[in-house]
Structure 1
Amino acid sequence: MGMRVDNYVSPEEKKEVDARRIKMLKIFSKVATVMNILMYVSYFPQIISNFSGNPVNPLQPAVAMINASLWTGYGWLKTYKDWPIIISNIPGIFFGMLTFVTVFIH
């Protein structure tokens, strides 16, 4: 069987998932979501640097913004919306764009 590109499972393929695994995945998902949000919030010092007249290289925040947009779209377009992916990447769109724009406004 090849790699699945969505999380849909047909009724005949459904398997019982161990409760411990579900609990571990929920914790893992929450920690990963928080860490991803913190990663994007860490652009704040770069934004301040941009406004202080020391602009940063615009390539990295532009790529981060595009990456976050793609992941948000992926999470939104799945059969069942993947809220941890969506929620954790929305700050990346905002802070990536803000950092990119402020490079040119100093």
Structure 2
Amino acid sequence: MSELNTTSSPDTAAEITALRRSTIMIGWVATAASVSMYIAYIDQISRNLDGVKGSVIQPAAAFVAATLWTLYGALRAKWDLPLVWANVPGIILAAAAFVTAL
């Protein structure tokens, strides 16, 4: 009796290559989405500077998370560039939002 292939792993080199390309593309699209999320801090920073202070809790949490994800991506044996690039703006803009909200 022959065994059925019950794994969902790709069987051919072409499928593996297509999967890698798809994964890379998803990584860069997710990077763009993440950067756009952090760009939203510019509005909060502007309001903070105008005297309408926002909360420091969310920018502080975003700063910690972005820093940790950047370190994780940078300290891997092979850098995870989409992960690093997605979170560097978060470090900068979340820190600025935090400081200006004080």
> What TM-score does the superposition give when structure 2 sets the normalisation length?
0.83
- Choose 1 or 2 for highest CA Rg: 2
Q: 2:79 is aligned with what amino acid?
A: K
Q: CA deviation at 1:90?
A: 0.2
- Matches for 1:34-73 after TM superposition, within 5 Å: 34-73=32-71
RMSD: 1.5
Aligned residues: 90
Partners of 1:78 and 1:20 in 2: CA distance: 24
TM superposition shift of 1:79: 1.1
Q: Which structure 1 residue ranges, 4+ long, deviate > 2 Å from structure 2?
A: none
Whole-Å Cα distance in 1 between the matches of residues 79 and 28 of structure 2? 16
1:1-106 maps to which residues of 2 (within 5 A)?
A: 18-104=16-102
Unaligned runs of 5+ in 2: 1-12
Once residues 85 and 27 of structure 1 are traced to their aligned partners in structure 2, the CA distance between those partners, rounded to angstroms, is 12
SS at match of 2:78: coil
* Structure 1 segments unaligned to the other structure (5+ residues): 1-15
Higher relative helix content: 2
Q: 1:38-76 deviations in whole A, cap 9, x for unaligned?
A: 010110110011011110000100110010000000011
Question: What is the letter of the counterpart of residue 37 of structure 2?
Answer: M
Query: Percent identity between the aligned chains?
Result: 34
Instruction: Normalising by structure 1, report the TM-score.
Output: 0.80
